[in-house]
């Protein structure tokens, strides 16, 4: 782990982009560790591997968890809430990996910050009702922040190639399909629906 961290730190000294993570659960990277190969399944791993990003802060209401997370990922600062984080750092990109019920609250805090991030990468669902989405939409009209929901399959070249082949009817018409997912409808089930819409 230490050699991987050392290599990554040296590689990222010229990076212009700083990042932070809100919430220290599984998708954030609590059960992951810095490594140079293998799949990228967490936000921390993605920031760690990308040469143009440096993960500078993390926050979680559980102080022990945020402290442990920051030690594993060699992060400079660990905080217990979003306001505290925003008072001390102004990252270019912030990932929201908190529980679903807190997404809207955290988005509001980030959008109203004196120095909001340039990009907010939020886990799905972005919020929990059409009313919340309309409320959020009002904020985004007047705010230059780019908001990206974690539907990463849309950016995967293999998924894009398959979508193009299906749309060109290279396989003929759809006869039948089976889809499997885990982790609940709002979490991983949403990936299925978005991927089907993409295809």
Task: Render pLDDT for 33-46 as a digit per residue (tens, 0 to 9).
Answer: 999 999 999 999 99
Task: Render pLDDT for 127-149 as a digit per residue (tens, 0 to 9).
Answer: 889 999 998 888 788 778 999 99
Measure the CA angle with vertex 185, ends 179 and 187; round to 5°.
105
Q: Quote the pTM value.
A: 0.83
Q: How many CB atoms lie within 10 A of CB 132?
A: 15
Residue 161 has pLDDT above 60, yes or no: yes
Q: Choose between 111 and 139: higher pLDDT.
A: 111
Q: How far apart are CA 93 and CA 141, in angstroms?
A: 19
Residues 6 or more apart from 129 whose CB is under 8 A from it? none
């Amino acid at each position: 782990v230490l050699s991987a961290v050392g290599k990554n730190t040296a590689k990222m000294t010229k990076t212009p982009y700083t990042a932070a993570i809100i919430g220290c659960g599984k998708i954030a990277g609590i059960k992951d560790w810095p490594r140079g190969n293998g799949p990228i399944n967490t936000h921390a791993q993605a920031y760690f591997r990308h040469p143009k990003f440096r993960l500078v802060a993390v926050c979680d209401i559980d102080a022990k968890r945020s402290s442990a997370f920051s030690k594993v990922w060699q992060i400079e600062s660990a905080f217990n809430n979003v306001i505290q984080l925003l008072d001390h750092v102004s990252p270019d990109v912030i990932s929201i990996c908190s529980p679903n019920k807190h997404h809207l609250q955290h988005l509001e805090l980030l959008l109203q910050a004196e120095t909001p991030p340039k990009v907010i990468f939020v886990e799905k669902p972005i919020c929990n009702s059409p009313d919340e989405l309309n409320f959020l939409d009002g904020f985004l009209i007047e705010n230059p922040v780019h908001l990206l929901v974690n539907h990463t399959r849309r950016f995967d070249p293999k998924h894009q190639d398959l979508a193009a082949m299906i749309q060109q009817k290279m396989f003929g018409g759809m006869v039948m399909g089976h889809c499997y997912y885990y982790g609940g409808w709002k979490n991983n089930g949403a990936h299925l629906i978005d991927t089907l819409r993409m295809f």
